Homo-oligomer: A and B are copies of this chain.
Amino acid sequence: MAHTLEDTIALLSRTPAAFDALLHDLPEIWTSRNEGADTWSAFDVIGHLLHGERTDWMPRVKVILQHGESRTFDLFDRLGQVRETQGKSLGQLLHEFSRLRAENLGELRALHLEPEDLQRRGRHPALGVVTLSQLLATWAAHDLTHLHQISRVMAHQYWQAVGPWSAYLGVLKCDGHSSP
């Protein structure tokens, strides 16, 4: 099942503004709280997205284009956002995420990838051979998995406050959690 670069870029270009509209200046009950020990708050998730923007997606695109399957991707440091977020406000992280995303999409567009380029292959340290097409589709789906996560983490803060309505709210029953 193919995806088009246009559809992928259209989504990637909108998600930073969506996160910003949702989270900017929101009270801390929504942005700083998590789902319990060893889980992430909305703040942590934005730090993770920012770190990925710096170290994951476009660097891997370049590894595929330059080295193909011969060079395994660097491991993504899932705790990199701890360094990324130290001493910063959520507003700063959101702004930085938007800026880096715009830069990265500018670089991606400048590559003028053709459909046949999307079939080029790289090597993931755990998943093995993957295509550039799969990497780019995952970049977009990764935004969505974290929007999904943030909406769940935020709803969790109200699971008692909603009283009996919790029975109707699917978000309170979600266990579709991403890998750590």
Contact = CB atoms under 8 A, between A and B. Distances in A.
Interface of A: 1-3, 6-7, 10-11, 14-15, 17-24, 26-27, 29-30, 124, 127-128, 130-131, 133-135, 137-138, 140-142, 144-145, 147-149, 151-152, 154-155, 158-165, 167-179
Contact of A158 (B137, B147, B170, B179): B137
Contact of A10 (B6, B30, B124, B168): B30
13 contacts: A1-B160, A3-B161, A7-B29, A10-B26, A11-B30, A18-B18, A18-B22, A127-B164, A127-B167, A137-B162, A145-B151, A147-B147, A173-B176
Contact of A128 (B134, B138, B161, B164): B164
B14 A27 contact: no
- Determine how many copies of this chain the complex contains: 2
Given A22-B14, A133-B161, A158-B137, A179 B167 contact: yes
A144 to B, nearest CB: 4
A101 to B, nearest CB: 13
A177 B168 CA distance: 9
A91 to B, nearest CB: 14
Contact of A145 (B20, B130, B155): B155
Given A133-B161, A173-B176, 4 more contacts: A145-B155, A145-B169, A147-B147, A149-B170
Contact of A148 (B18, B137, B174): B174
B163 A148 contact: no
Contacts of A14: 21-24, 26
